[in-house]
Amino acid sequence: MKTKLIYSEKCLGYGTWHIEGPQRVKIAHDILQSKGYEFVHPTAATEDEISNVHDLEYIWNLKKGLVEDSDTPAYDKIFDFARLSVGGALLASKIGGFSLMRPPGHHVGTYGSALGVYTRGFCYLNNIAIAVKESKKPTLILDIDGHHGNGTQEVFLGDEKVTYASVHQSPNYPGTGGASEANCINFALPRDAGRKIYFETLDKALSMLDLGRFEQVAVSAGFDAHTGDLASLGLVEQDYYDIGKRVALLAKPTFFVLEGGYNGEKVGLDIDQFLKGYEENLKI
Ligand SMILES: [Zn+2]
């Protein structure tokens, strides 16, 4: 069965000048639509759902536009854009879909910037963390974005129901994830590490997991480890097929939430390959 994509044009309504701009998902959407994917619309998350992860004062400040940092602007109505993106992740978790929404979320923690990092890295609400909390299920969060998800790690560090696993570029923003800690499995790789090292490392990370513990897998699906993007690990389209295959072989109900990836054409083609790799290797 083809994975449904979750998308609303409303997510294009902010940040035209920013690298985390509307074109990255607009172009990806158009490519995936041309390839025959089915799209469904999200509805905005409630404050109750959001407050399972985020501090009430942070939510209040976000609503008031009081949380601007050097690369995460307080756009007009950003709270509404952010909670619709959370809604995408919540719907993805319910239907086993792929949320193609923005803003991304994995750098933002309970109180805003996470683990002492100086910015929230284009993130306002932690979409995947809120969806995992809402599901109440023991979950493996697999973060394939080229950056470490410091926000997600902060939210779940020490949580016995959740394991967070990430392979990411270092040194790079946010500077965290240099080593594994408790339930957070981290592997840092040099810039443009390349396919061989990447898959050796990903397979090592996956081999450390006690899969029987998890009822679901949630993928922080960022594509900026693609060659030339902000956190390149030297990956190309075909490599995303092989990542999708590995996710299928985990043999768990799975959902996907877009994180980074800043070249819309590459994001669209990578998602297509990733979902092909996932769907063609599902044994369920
Ligand atoms: Zn990233």
- Is residue 107 annotated as part of the catalytic site, yes or no? yes
pLDDT digits (tens, 9 = 90+) for 241-259: 999 999 999 999 999 999 9
Q: pLDDT category, 1, cuts 50, 70, 90?
A: low
Q: Cα–Cα distances in Å, from 34 out to 31, 126, 163, 269?
A: 5, 29, 36, 11
Mean of per-residue pLDDT scores for the chain: 97
Q: pLDDT category, 211, cuts 50, 70, 90?
A: very high
Output the pLDDT for position 284.
57
- The three-class DSSP label of residue 260 is coil
Output the pLDDT for position 151.
98
Amino acid present at 129: A
DSSP run (H or E) holding 128: helix 127-135
244 Cβ partners below 8 Å, 6+ apart?
273, 274, 275, 276, 277, 278, 279, 281
Q: pLDDT category, 53, cuts 50, 70, 90?
A: very high
The CA 261 to ligand 1 mean position distance, Å, reads 7
Percent of the chain clearing pLDDT 70 (strictly above): 99
In eight-state DSSP terms, residue 12 is G
Specify whether the CB–CB gap between 186 and 150 falls below 8 A.
no
The pair of three-digit structure tokens given for residue 60, joined into one six-digit string:
């209040």
Taking Cα atoms as reference points, which of 39, 7, 70 lies closest to residue 258? Answer: 7
Q: With a cut of 60, say whether residue 160 has pLDDT above it.
A: yes
Amino acid present at 229: D
DSSP run (H or E) holding 39: strand 39-40
The CA 284 to ligand 1 mean position distance, Å, reads 31
The pair of three-digit structure tokens given for residue 97, joined into one six-digit string:
């879909």
The CA 136 to ligand 1 mean position distance, Å, reads 26
Annotated active-site residue in 107, 147, 168, 226:
107
The CA 19 to ligand 1 mean position distance, Å, reads 12
Cα–Cα distance for residue pair 100/96, rounded to 1 Å: 13
pLDDT digits (tens, 9 = 90+) for 168-183: 999 999 999 999 999 9
Taking Cα atoms as reference points, which of 191, 139, 132 lies closest to residue 165? Answer: 139
Output the pLDDT for position 265.
98
192 Cβ partners below 8 Å, 6+ apart?
227, 232, 233, 234
pLDDT digits (tens, 9 = 90+) for 83-142: 999 999 999 999 999 999 999 999 999 999 999 999 999 999 999 999 999 999 999 999
The CA 64 to ligand 1 mean position distance, Å, reads 26
Percent of the chain clearing pLDDT 90 (strictly above): 98
Output the pLDDT for position 283.
81
The CA 223 to ligand 1 mean position distance, Å, reads 7
pTM summary value? 0.98
